[in-house]
Structure 1
Amino acid sequence: MNEREVYACKKYIRKHRAAMKEVGRVLLDLPALLTLFHLDCENCRLVHRETCCEGGQPYAVENRQADLLERESGAIARQLWSERDQRGWAAEGIWDKHYGLGTIRMDHGNCLFYKEIDGRHGCSIHAYAERSGADVVALKPFSCQLYPLEVIDMGEAILLTALTEETAPFSRWGTDYLEHFYCASIQRRMAAAHLDEHFFALTGYKPAYQWNIPLLHALLGSDAGLALDFLGKRSRRETVVT
């Protein structure tokens, strides 16, 4: 984060500290983590005409994860890509020639791993993991599976939050999702009377943290059970109240 984002984050924590729950070194931002989202990724392109994987440079991958992804890239290509594409991968590799290891190269302006699979557009890393039984949390780039959550190391504590209007000023996700995508705004979806009820169905919205439970286990380790138990109880209580 830059200095302005660090300032905004610290200010946000001071303002909402009473609504946060401390679990080990992690500050659970309860209001944000209970904010409703619907990651209807399979239908995203049908509704928005563009997905997260299109038209931008993927976040860099940490070296340890990059090594694993490189080892598995051949298997991903063999399972989901044509022989011609496989030859291209073998010749050019999966990394950007300028930035090198850890930065996935682009293909026609999109992430290399983005493709149409069985009539749906999405991540071939994720599809490969599901089909082969590989650990998607270990294999798929961290930032690509983090949304709508945000994990921020503040030194003495780690803030676990999610994208909202208040966190957007210091979130990697910014305001784009809030302003343009139904996944981040049930209010916008409710107002979209023109949309087929099966796309981003209102019944599919659930608290942000529930979209990332395998990742939370990987991030929180032995504290994951306690954190998820607390979030679950808080979520049920708020559902009863509302």
Structure 2
Amino acid sequence: MIDNESKWYYTIAWYTQGNKPSFEEEIQEMAQGHIAHLCEEQELLLKQIEMQSNSLKIKINSDIQLNINKLVKDLQKKLPAITDLVDEEKTLITTTSSDLSEKDRRLEKLLNSVIDAEYYDMEDSFTSQLEDLKSYLLAQKLSVIEKNDQIFLVDEEALNHEINLNCFACTKLYKYGCCCGSPCNLGPRNKKVFDKHLLNIEEEVKAYDEATYKKILAKGGFIASDGSINECDGHCALLVEEEGIYKCIAHSYALKRDIPIYEICPLSCLMYPLEIIELITNKQRKLLLLTSVVSEDFARRFGRWGSYNTLEVELRCINKKAHNDVFKEEDYRPVYKVNKDLLCHEFGSTFYESLEEVL
């Protein structure tokens, strides 16, 4: 058995179908015995077994990189009573390393197989920058989370960066803030929901400012033929003013009617500075990169919003050192925590639990 100075850390989690309490005490005892025996047999350090009536989670440390998928299959062969009861789509595997100098051979192989990249929930590709992006990622500390057949690459430093999205305070100073310029596109899924509510949303804009409402209609309406949101006077057509504060009418409309904002608003508006990029491999498999655009270099080269320095506003929201009486230091939190609801909505609460473990 290896010592505590392990370089590789693995967590494997299984969940029952429908989270039903299916693991009886006898099954739990049997599973713990088999897991302990297999780890001892393969000279792995079994750090923890956490078993409840509806889930089984194990943590394993190793001084060498494992073929973790083979290990999971070996465990499942030993645990047929567990395997028959679990929901395979909820099975989660996380891989992380404590040593940046220790190359992740599997991660390198995955990144080398990438032939295209697109922004999540958009159809914008940036293939011309692909090699630069791959080189950048190979230099980062990335952990891997696997959920069924989906692989997530987690940029630990970028997601742990602390932010404070005090948008109302910002718009008081800078009027439109981040919502000036070209509006974000609606993804196909959100556009279907948005279209159902478009007439009601238009009526709400009309109630706030009828002159602006008529101007938007005269310029082609709120939504362009390609599905993008139109501009009006240099800002998103969905921005309305209320008591000196500019806000998104779609966001406000959704909150009033208990519609999840992640179903009706463009995700690109809601995730900043979180960035999610789809990496497509030569086998047409999609890897999802979870990172953020808190680095100016990354934002300018790879971020969907480009450089925010061009807005000529103080980016206190992503610069904790610039905190003041309004952007209070104690209100800054990691990117992944600020975006918890979005991540849970898109990928599930069990995925978010694994993300928390990694970060």
TM-score if structure 1 supplies the norm length?
Answer: 0.79
Deviation at 1:67, TM superposition (A): 3.1
Quick one: which amino acid aligns to residue 140 of structure 1?
C
State the Cα distance separating 1:184 from its structure 2 match.
1.4
Mapping for residues 159-178 of structure 1, pairs under 5 Å: 159-165=289-295, 167-168=298-299, 169-176=301-308
Q: Please tell me the residue identity of whatever aligns with 1:211.
A: V
In our comparison, the structure showing a higher alpha carbon Rg is 2
Equivalent residue for 2:356? 232
Give a deviation string over 1:117-145, Cα, whole Å, max 9, x none.
Answer: 34421211111111121221100012111
Structure 1, unaligned runs of 5 or more: 236-242
Taking a change above 3 Å as real, the CA distance of residues 140 and 10 of structure 1, as seen in their structure-2 partners, is same
Q: Deviations over 1:194-221 (max 9, x none)?
A: x5x0x2221211111122222212322x
- 2:171 paired residue number: 45
Per-residue displacement from partner, 1:37-92 (whole Å, max 9, x unpaired)? Answer: 111111112233441112x1112223342232122122223345327359736674
Per the alignment, in what secondary structure is the counterpart of residue 184 of structure 1?
A: coil
Structure-1 residue corresponding to 2:198: 73
Output the CA distance in 1 between the equivalents of 2:167 and 2:184. Answer: 19
Q: Measure, in 1, the Cα distance between the counterparts of 2:354 and 2:233.
A: 44
Distance 1:68 1:86, change over 3 A: farther
* Worse overlay, 79-88 or 132-141: 79-88
CA contact (8 A) 1:36 1:184 kept: yes
Distance 1:225 1:87 in 2: 39
Give the whole-Å Cα distance in 1 for the aligned partners of 2:352 and 2:178.
27
2: CA distance, partners of 1:163 / 1:84? 37
**Superposed counterparts of 1:52-131, under 5 Å:** 52-54=178-180, 56-82=181-207, 84=210, 88=214, 92-96=220-224, 100-131=225-256
SS in structure 1 of the partner of residue 182 of structure 2: coil
Distance between the aligned counterparts of 1:87 and 1:59, measured in 2?
20
State which of 119, 126, 131 in structure 2 corresponds to 1:7.
131
Letter in 1 for 2:185: A
1:148/1:163 contact within 8 Å kept: yes
In structure 2, relative to structure 1, the CA distance for the partners of 1:207 and 1:162 (3 Å cut) is same
Equivalent position of 2:260 in the other structure: 135
- 1:23 matched residue in structure 2: 146
Give the direction of change, closer, same or farther, for the CA distance of 1:164–1:119 in structure 2 (3 Å limit): closer
Residue 158 of structure 1: aligned partner: 288
- 8 Å CA contact 1:80–1:128 kept in 2: the answer is no
For 2:309 and 2:271, how far apart are their aligned partners in 1? Answer: 14
Q: Deviation of residue 175 (structure 1)?
A: 3.2
Partner of 1:210: 337
The structure in which a higher percent of residues are strand is 2
Q: Percent identity?
A: 24
CA RMSD for the aligned pairs? 2.6
Give the TM-score normalised by the residue count of structure 2. Answer: 0.55
Write the distance in 2 (CA, Å) between the matches of 1:31 and 1:116.
36
2:178 partner SS: coil
The whole-number CA distance in structure 1 between the counterparts of 2:131 and 2:245 is: 41
**Local SS of the residue matching 1:129:** helix
Output one character per residue of 1:95-118: Cα deviation in whole Å (capped at 9) or x when no partner.
23xxx1411111111111011134
**Per-residue deviation, residues 124-181 of structure 1 (Å, max 9, x unmatched):** 1111111121221100012111211111111241101111325322122333259841
**How many Å apart are 1:4 and its aligned residue?**
4.8
Q: Hey, what does 2:271 align to over in structure 1?
A: 146
CA shift in 2, pair 1:85/1:67, >3 Å: farther
Letter in 1 for 2:152: V
The 1-side partners of 2:260 and 2:211 are apart by 24
Across the two proteins, how many residue pairs are aligned to each other? Answer: 220
Structure-2 change in CA distance of 1:167 and 1:50 (3 Å): same
Shift of 1:36: 0.8
Distance 1:184 1:133, change over 3 A: same
